A and B are shown apart, each in its own frame.
Chain A
């Protein structure tokens, strides 16, 4: 019996999202000598999307239904549980994204199927499925064994696999959607765009990212002064926005903005993957954190392990001195 790998294609507003190609890259590796790599595309009027997927899979399972136009976890579950039950793929991959998080756990439950979330790797050992995860904010890793079953669902953390160029040419199989009637308990209403603020942090060569480590909003002026003296803009991690210290448009990360400055200085930021996704493409990354084990140091090029309240004033003085000279 062949053991196929399924990848659930993530797309939004007519674009396939990057995570899909990461999943297909890992999926290709898992499918080798085992079975076929299938990209499962749920949507409406999918032609354009189908074409861009062709190099990356052996088969594209195309399911079109007007009700699949915008993502709806309930319709996804109806269509996918029927498909998985019929075709019995070995491993189904999704992304640990706002899309995957919303349907993978309930889909797995409805199929009584083992599921692990937010994995940084999956391996198959003697037909046992094992995943690797980062837990406790990235300070510990764990190896997780999935209970024996005919099929498994695994969600992968974005950024865990570098997407490779596709060299395949997929055949397209159209499968009718299993959705029979309209549902009234969950309706997509609309997308709401992010509000634009005064400062566009994506345009600056130097970005200073501040995190929960700044402790209180009364410490903001110190950080603003630092950003100003070095000639950059002030940005932040999510908790700083949640606390209302800086506006949402200053947030760097998966649910905020992606910045690619020449220099990013992370001050009092632990380095959660949701934050790292928004700044890892910076040319040079500096981290200032008092915890030597903070994951941010594995992302940074230069690190200072110290209390930021001791370092930042000194740094301010030094920069002002150098710029004055």
Chain B
């Protein structure tokens, strides 16, 4: 059972200020902290869990800058076998379709039974790469997978639909699954794992250009000021008092 996992290094932006740089096509990355994309961490864990049941190798794939090796090493420390980093020269302007194409070219080289991606990246947020990858590889897929079991060359998966409803599917392997958060409990790397990871190989695929782009960011801008909450000003005590007054006035207290 050989598994490929696609992981992406992304900036943590939930709590940080995000600034657009002078090109207006990118954000300023200097001040941001980067980590493995949340959903990819669950995909990696799912691969590790599958391998606990059936022996095999786990190969990590990423399209990203050299710094992506940090998240790759974390995956290797958790138990992945090796990593492949693809660093195209036009990395800055590459679109999701081309990312999938670059991934497909490398994944095709191996023989994988299962290919896992996250269901969404927290920066681009397209939910596109995994399903595109399946098409480029000519194999079936299921997206938003929240449960997965293997059975005679098939995977029985549950996809998460709206409102908590699930859809159960039977998919023939090899196949691509895009993993939804919450499917498992991602582990932390052990000290021993981190030591071992230092010996593991990260193959670098460079000196290439991602071609055949289908979309192009022409401009980034800050969301236009629209409706905005009335901000209650003051220290913790004061704002608490103000909120209570507001709620009381509306008959909610």
Q: A304 with B253: in contact, given A106-B134, A298-B228 (CB under 8 Å)?
A: no
Q: Shortest distance in angstroms between B32's beta carbon and chain A's nearest beta carbon?
A: 10
B20 touches A140 (CB 8 A): yes
Q: A115 with B97: in contact, given A136-B27, A255-B160, A314-B237 (CB under 8 Å)?
A: yes
| Chain A residues within 8 Å of B158, by CB | 192
Instruction: Tell me whether chain B's interface is mostly helix, strand or loop, or mixed.
Output: mixed
A46 within 8 A of B: no
Total interface residues on A, CB under 8 Å, equals 98
| Chain B residues within 8 Å of A323, by CB | 253
Q: Shortest distance in angstroms between A91's beta carbon and chain B's nearest beta carbon?
A: 14
| Chain B residues within 8 Å of A74, by CB | 140
B252 touches A189 (CB 8 A): no
Alpha-carbon distance between A298 and B185 when the two chains are bound, in angstroms: 32
Total interface residues on B, CB under 8 Å, equals 84
Alpha-carbon distance between A314 and B214 when the two chains are bound, in angstroms: 53
A166 within 8 A of B: no
Alpha-carbon distance between A195 and B129 when the two chains are bound, in angstroms: 31
| Chain B residues within 8 Å of A138, by CB | 223
Alpha-carbon distance between A101 and B119 when the two chains are bound, in angstroms: 9
Q: Shortest distance in angstroms between A71's beta carbon and chain B's nearest beta carbon?
A: 8
| Chain A residues within 8 Å of B197, by CB | none
| Chain A residues within 8 Å of B119, by CB | 101
A169 within 8 A of B: no
Q: A315 with B240: in contact, given A109-B97, A303-B229, A322-B253 (CB under 8 Å)?
A: yes
B215 within 8 A of A: yes
Give the residues from 160 to 202 in chain B that come closer than 8 angstroms, CB to CB, to chain A.
160-172, 175, 181-182, 185
B205 within 8 A of A: no
| Chain A residues within 8 Å of B175, by CB | 185
B30 within 8 A of A: no
Q: Which of A96, A130, A310 is in CB contact (< 8 Å) with B127? A: A96
Nearest residue, chain A, Cβ from B164:
A194
Q: Which of A130, A194, A303 is in CB contact (< 8 Å) with B163? A: A194
Alpha-carbon distance between A185 and B141 when the two chains are bound, in angstroms: 9
Q: Shortest distance in angstroms between B228's beta carbon and chain A's nearest beta carbon?
A: 6
Give the residues from 286 to 319 in chain A that come closer than 8 angstroms, CB to CB, to chain B.
286-287, 290-291, 293, 295, 297-307, 310-311, 314-315, 317-319
Alpha-carbon distance between A193 and B129 when the two chains are bound, in angstroms: 28
Q: Shortest distance in angstroms between A120's beta carbon and chain B's nearest beta carbon?
A: 10
A206 within 8 A of B: yes
B160 touches A98 (CB 8 A): yes
Alpha-carbon distance between A280 and B161 when the two chains are bound, in angstroms: 20
9-residue interface stretch from B1-9, B49-57, B80-88, B242-250: B242-250
Alpha-carbon distance between A194 and B127 when the two chains are bound, in angstroms: 23
Alpha-carbon distance between A307 and B139 when the two chains are bound, in angstroms: 48
| Chain B residues within 8 Å of A171, by CB | none
9-residue interface stretch from A35-43, A51-59, A256-264: A256-264
B228 touches A297 (CB 8 A): yes
| Chain B residues within 8 Å of A101, by CB | 119, 127, 131, 143-144
9-residue interface stretch from B11-19, B58-66, B71-79, B107-115: B11-19
| Chain B residues within 8 Å of A141, by CB | 220-224
9-residue interface stretch from A20-28, A144-152, A172-180, A216-224: A144-152
A105 within 8 A of B: yes
| Chain B residues within 8 Å of A256, by CB | 163-164
Give the residues from 8 to 26 in chain A that come closer than 8 angstroms, CB to CB, to chain B.
12, 17
Q: Which of A115, A284, A287 is in CB contact (< 8 Å) with B128? A: A115
Nearest residue, chain B, Cβ from A256:
B164
Q: Shortest distance in angstroms between A182's beta carbon and chain B's nearest beta carbon?
A: 13
| Chain B residues within 8 Å of A311, by CB | 236, 239-240
Q: Shortest distance in angstroms between B73's beta carbon and chain A's nearest beta carbon?
A: 24
B168 touches A190 (CB 8 A): yes
B229 touches A287 (CB 8 A): yes
Q: A187 with B170: in contact, given A258-B163, A315-B244 (CB under 8 Å)?
A: yes
Alpha-carbon distance between A241 and B18 when the two chains are bound, in angstroms: 27
Q: Which of B164, B166, B229 is in CB contact (< 8 Å) with A298? A: B229
B207 within 8 A of A: no
Q: Shortest distance in angstroms between B197's beta carbon and chain A's nearest beta carbon?
A: 25
B122 within 8 A of A: yes
A189 touches B168 (CB 8 A): yes
Q: Shortest distance in angstroms between A126's beta carbon and chain B's nearest beta carbon?
A: 14
A residues bordering B, Cβ < 8 Å? 12, 17, 71, 73-74, 96-99, 101-106, 108-110, 113-118, 130, 133-147, 184-194, 206, 212, 230, 238-239, 241-242, 244, 248-249, 251, 254-258, 262-263, 270, 284-287, 290-291, 293, 295, 297-307, 310-311, 314-315, 317-319, 322-323
Minimum-distance CB pairs A-B, first 10:
A194-B164, A303-B229, A242-B182, A106-B135, A300-B229, A105-B131, A192-B166, A185-B172, A314-B240, A114-B214
- Other CB < 8 Å A-B pairs besides A115-B97, A130-B218, A317-B240, 15 of them? A73-B141, A101-B144, A102-B159, A117-B96, A140-B222, A142-B220, A144-B217, A147-B213, A147-B216, A192-B165, A238-B182, A287-B229, A297-B229, A303-B230, A318-B244
Could you pull out 12 A-B pairs where Cβ atoms are within 8 angstroms?
A97-B162, A98-B167, A101-B144, A113-B214, A114-B214, A135-B220, A136-B122, A141-B220, A146-B215, A192-B167, A206-B252, A311-B240
